């Protein structure tokens, strides 16, 4: 079997080109002012700093302005909420991203939920999640949204198929399960403590690995012809799925790296551009 490669890097490049045209048109309509994506980085975690830098680079590629807000590791919940309030009130800011994780003394959920719904381009608020589940307008979490864009682009049939999601995080496992359900898939949501996990994985027409443990999902569990979406990334360039064995069984897969990761940032850019366009229309 020669499985189809779901190439997130190629699709993200295509999407960024389309977004650059949309931002140029938007600047023409709004007096050449670029929309702003504000990123908040609290503390000095090097991985988080790298992610924020990557998002700033993506902003420049598509014609958005990136505003980086850096706060010290001793920042309190009240101080961070005040920063978010200021960005909510700023008419130039069309998207707000609070980089996860924040230091332990901060109530992260309270801070996520302080982000205005119309600026929640990373899909982290409880209100945005609830609206997405109910098929109401909202920006879904960026990684799940990127997965759905990838599946749509490669014309992976979802309706009526059995999707198994392994992982239940509030920004990945849970929202992608709900997005797949809204796309008429039949969804089983599992996690690291699920009993008889191998048997459930073996039922999947579409498997999403989002458990956050390297090669936790064995390739031998995967059904012949399944579509494998690996949302994990770990040192050594491996994901949550034992891909070397899975490749002998699956019909399509996302490479690690180069699959889901690039689509996360591309979806964040797409959400920010859409938010700017909605604001310009007065929507």
Domain ranges, ordered by start, for the chain: 31-116, 142-261
| Rounded Cα gap, residues 171 and 140, in angstroms | 9
pLDDT in tens, the chain (283 residues): 699 999 999 999 999 999 999 999 999 988 878 899 999 999 998 989 999 999 999 999 999 999 999 999 999 999 999 999 999 999 999 999 999 999 999 999 999 999 999 999 999 999 999 999 999 999 999 999 999 999 999 999 999 999 999 999 999 999 999 999 999 999 999 998 999 999 999 999 999 999 999 999 999 999 999 999 999 998 888 999 999 999 999 999 999 999 999 999 999 999 999 999 999 888 6
Which CATH number does 31-116 carry? 3.40.50.10860
**Residue 283 confidence (pLDDT):** 60
**Residue 269 confidence (pLDDT):** 97
How far is the first Cα of the chain from the last one, in angstroms, to the nearest whole number?
A: 48
Predicted TM-score of the model (pTM) = 0.94
**Residue 31 confidence (pLDDT):** 80
> 44-55, pLDDT tens digit by residue?
989 899 999 999
Q: By the 8 A CB rule, do 121 and 96 touch? A: yes
Fold type of domain 142-261: Rossmann fold (3.40.50)
Residue 109: name the closest of 129, 126, 88 by CA. 126
Domains 31-116 and 142-261 share a fold: yes
Q: By the 8 A CB rule, do 40 and 96 touch? A: yes
Annotated catalytic residues are 55, 99, 122
**Residue 119 confidence (pLDDT):** 98
Residue 43's region, left for phi above 0, alpha for psi from -120 to 50, else beta, is left
């Amino acid at each position: 079997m020669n499985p189809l490669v779901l190439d997130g890097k190629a699709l993200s490049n295509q999407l960024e080109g389309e977004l650059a045209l949309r931002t140029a048109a938007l600047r023409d309509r709004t007096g050449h002012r670029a929309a702003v994506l504000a990123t908040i980085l609290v503390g000095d975690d090097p991985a988080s700093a790298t992610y924020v830098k990557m998002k700033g680079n993506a902003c420049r590629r598509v014609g958005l302005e990136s505003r980086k807000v850096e706060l010290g590791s001793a920042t309190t919940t009240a101080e961070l909420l005040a920063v978010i309030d200021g960005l909510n009130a700023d008419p130039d800011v069309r998207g707000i991203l609070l980089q996860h994780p924040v230091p332990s003394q901060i109530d992260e959920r309270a801070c996520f939920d302080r982000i205005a719904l119309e600026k929640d381009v990373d899909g982290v608020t409880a209100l945005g999640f609830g609206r997405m589940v109910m098929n109401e307008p909202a920006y879904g979490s960026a990684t799940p949204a990127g997965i759905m864009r990838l599946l749509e682009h490669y014309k992976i049939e979802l309706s009526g198929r059995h999707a198994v999601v392994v992982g239940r995080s509030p920004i990945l496992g849970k929202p992608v399960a709900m997005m797949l359900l809204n796309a008429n898939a039949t969804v089983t949501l599992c996690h690291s403590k699920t009993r008889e996990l191998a048997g459930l994985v073996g039922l999947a027409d579409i498997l999403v690995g989002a458990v956050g443990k390297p090669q936790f999902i064995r390739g031998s569990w995967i059904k012949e012809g399944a579509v494998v979406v690996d949302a994990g990334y770990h040192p050594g360039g491996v994901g949550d799925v034992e891909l070397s064995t899975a490749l002998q069984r699956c019909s399509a897969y996302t490479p690690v790296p180069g699959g889901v990761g690039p689509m996360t940032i591309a979806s964040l850019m797409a959400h920010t551009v859409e938010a700017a366009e909605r604001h310009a229309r007065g929507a």
